[in-house]
Structure 1
Amino acid sequence: MHSPDHTQYTLRLQLPDETATANLGGQLAPLLFPGMVVWLEGGLGVGKTTLVRALLRALGHRGSVRSPTYTLVEIYVISRIYWYHFDFYRFNLPEEFVDAGLGEYFRGDCVCLVEWPQKAVGYVPPADLAVLLQMAENGRVGEVVAYSEEGKRCLSELRSHWPVVAN
């Protein structure tokens, strides 16, 4: 869903197992701040919810973290910041985003983590950062792509912690 003209703002990561995916979530957690929208892209079972679970745990959340496949959004309040975890997998039409009244969640005082954003294309706000997870021969490969100045700052910090995977 992200465009190739942002290659200078892309970080490719080798994620050999679930622990590595969780580590990515833990590294991203302190880099995100209110007002940011993060798209989580990739097929079923590639680790999008695992990444969100690790991210929220790194921020101090101790309760359960469920996939919002059926509820559309799960809400977490951590340190007075609202973290909204969306999953649009079950959308048949992008307009369902509007019908469900989800636009009101995307505000400057919260962080929005969005699985399956392509199912609400044209309605879901643009990403500051996108994380694309794909199955690979040795686990998974992740791409983190920055689309805004805030996203570029996050990506720059993240880059200092991870080795880059050759294309």
Structure 2
Amino acid sequence: MSISEPSSIRLHTDLILQGAEAQEAFGQCLAAYLAPPLMIYLEGDLGAGKTTLARGILRGLGHQGAVVSPSYTLVETYRPGDFALHHLDLYRLGHAEELEYLGLEDLCDGSGVLLVEWPERGAGVLPAADVRIRIDHRKQARALGLLGESAVGRQIAEQVQAALMSEKLL
């Protein structure tokens, strides 16, 4: 699938991850292909491992410090390398319009990558996703769906899929 296909065509990859370590490893793999500007939606129930995946992405970008859930602060910004990664958790957002008070316009200035947990809470205000990642509980494992929604998102999904296949993880 090439990135020149119409935007209605999306690339989707599914995999089963056994434990938090596997989720972090997937995040590290994904990190190798991230560059701004990029919008990533992280979807899943409470406790699905969205912040665990974010921790893996940050580790893959070289961040060595703590990675905390932005459940109460709503936004945590990290600068692990050449660009900022903004991790948003919109679970406690009352209305999508509150994103303006969080400085969404500044966060979306094109110089960073945004990881957004609970993106449906920002519907109508939040920019469209380039990449959508869905995490679902599967007993002791997690089912993860990676969906490239924009041209750049599809390119990332293709690269991650190829990397996982070369490691025989798919």
Would you say same fold, with TM above 0.5?
A: yes
- The answer for the alignment partner of 1:19 in structure 2 is 21
Cα separation, 2, equivalents of 1:143 and 1:6? 18
- The answer for the alignment partner of 1:91 in structure 2 is 93
Cα separation, 2, equivalents of 1:69 and 1:76? 16
For the 8 Å contact 2:20–2:52, the answer to whether it is kept is: yes
Secondary structure of 2:96 counterpart: coil
Cα separation, 2, equivalents of 1:10 and 1:35? 21
Query: What's the CA shift for 1:96?
Result: 1.4
Cα separation, 1, equivalents of 2:118 and 2:8? 20
Cα separation, 1, equivalents of 2:93 and 2:10? 32
2:77 maps to amino acid: I
Aligned-pair RMSD on alpha carbons?
1.7
Structure 2, unmatched stretches of 5+, are 1-6
For the 8 Å contact 1:6–1:145, the answer to whether it is kept is: no
- The answer for the alignment partner of 2:65 in structure 1 is 63
Cα separation, 1, equivalents of 2:100 and 2:57? 27
Q: Deviations over 1:47-103 (max 9, x none)?
A: 100001111111111111101111111011122311100000001221111233322
- The answer for the alignment partner of 1:134 in structure 2 is 136
Q: Deviations over 1:97-119 (max 9, x none)?
A: 12333222012111111111000
Cα separation, 1, equivalents of 2:158 and 2:76? 29
Pick which of 126-135 and 137-146 moved more.
137-146
- The answer for the alignment partner of 1:82 in structure 2 is 84
Q: Deviations over 1:13-68 (max 9, x none)?
A: 11121111111101100111010000000010011000011111111111111011
Aligned residue-pair number: 160
Query: What's the CA shift for 1:6?
Result: 6.3
For the 8 Å contact 2:39–2:115, the answer to whether it is kept is: yes
Q: Deviations over 1:113-153 (max 9, x none)?
A: 11110001011111100110000145110000111111111
Cα separation, 2, equivalents of 1:47 and 1:6? 28
Taking every aligned residue pair, what percent have the same amino acid on both sides? 35
Name which of 146, 151, 154 aligns with 1:152. 154
- The answer for the alignment partner of 1:108 in structure 2 is 110
Moved over 4 A (4+): 5-8
- The answer for the alignment partner of 2:4 in structure 1 is none
For the 8 Å contact 2:85–2:114, the answer to whether it is kept is: yes
Q: Could you tell me the TM-score, scaled by structure 2's length?
A: 0.88
